[in-house]
């Protein structure tokens, strides 16, 4: 009994010494960065931040790392590009947890898009036209026909982009947040080894609507060596980390690219031949060849698709606290579902949609309470072509 107290004291002292050897990781962000706002939460994932918005693809000066690089291959023209974070049908699922039997709610994961400037897409197409005329001709035909408005817009847009990417440039590069690990309003974007160091990157919104990131980098680690066969790790007793910061400012959504046949004309095709001679320079058609033209109905589909997508861009650019879960064209109408902070905010959103020049009328289909927010479904009838 007399030896237990000294042993306990020794263990406590040793633990205290170990605790004191874990240093760093609490460095503040640069003074000119806006304060993080982790209290602005996602209504469907309460521990996660609400990240929906449009952000610059160029990093804020003064940051310690390039946050945009964590979202994939970067556009060459970063000044005219943007990072879009939003929800869409491709990331939605039905969830019945904590609900009565037979009931379910739609849970929509966040997705991101790195959107290139339209001029960059045109430049890549020019390069393709000279380097590979046959691929350019196939790409041009897909770009000219566009995508028909059948089913959910985002699903068709994804298929359209995949078809373009087979032979030539595409404007958007898409991805999903595979790590939906959140704590205290921060979302874990990446965990693992990068540039030879263990690191964790977490992101949240800041007070001005920008995207702010904290990268916790392990600078050094000391461990007790423990042998216990394959797969065992040492026990760390000293570890030094550093918090590094980066930010992407809020920005306007870059305009959607569309094919301009005057800017990017089709290639003339030799009679009765579908192949280009390898030793001949590509020839430009002065008049579009008849077989290359889409049918009149397809032309209407392309114009309608462009109008619906531009309408979505305009409406999303005006969102304040509203969140759009689904934006889906159904014939001459567009179904919009989402949430707002109150009935009044829902009415304001309904009026905003109805005032758009593209919308003939906006009708509230349903409204319900979902936690502390109001869920709505709205049909917007488009103006005739």
> For residues 243 and 237, is the Cβ–Cβ distance under 8 A?
no
Write down which residue in 233, 248, 263 finishes a domain: 248
Instruction: State yes or no: pLDDT of 179 exceeds 80.
Output: no
CATH number at residue 379: 3.30.1360
Domain containing residue 377? 318-385
* 88 in a structural domain: yes
In sequence order, what DSSP letters do the residues of 155-194 get, joined into one string?
Answer: HHHHHHHHHHHTTS--SEEEEE-----EETTEEEEEEEEE
Residue 287 CA, chain-centre distance (Å), reads: 39
**Of residues 91 and 381, which shows the higher confidence score?**
381
pLDDT tens digit sequence for 13-64: 444 444 445 555 678 889 999 999 988 887 767 888 888 889 999 889 988 8
pLDDT of residue 301: 55
What pLDDT score does 208 carry?
92
Average pLDDT (177-195) is 80
How high is the pLDDT of residue 205?
Answer: 93
Q: Which of 201, 233, 248 marks a domain boundary?
A: 248
Q: Which single residue is written with the structure tokens 């280009």? A: 276
Helix residue ranges per DSSP H, the chain: 4-20, 118-131, 133-145, 153-165, 296-317, 343-355
59-97 pLDDT, tens digit each: 899 888 888 888 887 888 888 899 998 875 444 544 444
**What Cα–Cα distance (Å) separates residue 167 from each residue in 71, 75, 176?**
23, 18, 24
Asked, for residue 262, whether it belongs to a domain, the answer is no
- 279 falls within a domain: no
| Per-residue pLDDT band at 356 (split at 50, 70, 90) | very high
Q: How far is Cα 368 from Cα 384, in angstroms, rounded to an integer?
A: 31
Main-chain phi, psi angles of 280, to 5 degrees: -110, 140
Measured in degrees and rounded to the nearest 5, phi and psi for residue 110 equal: -75, 145
Question: Which whole number is the average pLDDT over 272-292?
Answer: 43
Identify whether 379 is part of a domain.
Answer: yes
pLDDT of residue 126: 94
112 and 206 together in one domain: yes
Q: Report the pLDDT value the prediction gives residue 156, as an integer from 0 to 100.
A: 66
Q: How does residue 293 score in pLDDT terms, banded at 50, 70 and 90?
A: very low
Judge if 92 and 205 occupy the same domain: yes
Residues 240 and 375 in one domain: no
95-99, 288-292, 319-323, 338-342: range with lowest mean pLDDT: 288-292
Least confidently predicted of 85-94, 200-209, 336-345: 85-94
- What domain count does the chain have? 2
Which tokens is 379 given?
């049909």
- Does residue 177 carry a pLDDT above 50? yes
109 & 193 share domain: yes
């Amino acid at each position: 009994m007399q030896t237990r107290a000294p042993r306990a004291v020794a263990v406590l002292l040793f633990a205290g010494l170990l605790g004191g050897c874990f240093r760093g990781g609490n460095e503040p962000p640069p003074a000119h960065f806006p304060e993080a706002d982790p209290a602005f939460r996602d209504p469907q994932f309460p521990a996660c931040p609400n990240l929906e918005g449009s952000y610059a693809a160029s990093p804020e000066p003064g940051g310690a790392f390039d946050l945009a690089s964590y979202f994939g291959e970067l556009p060459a023209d970063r000044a005219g590009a943007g990072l879009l974070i939003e929800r869409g049908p491709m990331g939605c699922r039905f969830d019945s947890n904590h609900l009565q039997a037979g009931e379910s709610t739609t849970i929509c994961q966040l997705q991101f898009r790195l959107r290139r400037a339209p001029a960059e897409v045109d430049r890549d197409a020019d390069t393709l036209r000279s380097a590979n005329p046959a691929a350019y001709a196939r790409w041009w035909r897909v770009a000219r026909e566009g995508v028909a408005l059948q089913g959910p817009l985002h699903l068709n847009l994804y298929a359209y982009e995949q078809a373009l990417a087979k032979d030539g440039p595409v404007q958007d590069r898409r991805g999903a947040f595979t790590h939906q690990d959140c704590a205290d309003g921060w979302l874990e974007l990446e965990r693992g080894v990068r540039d030879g160091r263990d690191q964790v990157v977490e992101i949240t919104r800041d007070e001005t609507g920008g995207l702010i990131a904290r990268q916790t980098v392990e600078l050094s680690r000391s461990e007790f060596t423990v042998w216990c066969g394959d797969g065992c790790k040492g026990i760390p007793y000293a570890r030094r980390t550093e918090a590094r910061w980066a930010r992407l400012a809020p920005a306007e959504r870059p305009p959607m690219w569309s094919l301009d046949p005057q800017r990017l004309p089709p290639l003339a095709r030799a009679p009765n031949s579908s192949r280009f001679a390898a030793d001949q320079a590509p020839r430009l058609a002065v008049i579009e060849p008849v077989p290359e033209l889409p049918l009149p109905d397809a032309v209407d589909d392309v114009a309608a698709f462009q109008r619906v997508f531009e309408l979505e861009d305009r409406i999303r650019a005006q969102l304040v606290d509203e969140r759009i879960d689904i934006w889906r064209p159904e014939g001459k109408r567009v179904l919009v579902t989402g949430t707002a902070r109150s009935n009044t905010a829902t009415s304001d959103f309904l009026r905003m949609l109805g005032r758009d020049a593209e919308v003939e009328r906006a009708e509230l289909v349903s409204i319900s309470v979902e936690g502390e927010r109001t869920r709505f479904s709205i049909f917007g009838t488009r103006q005739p072509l």
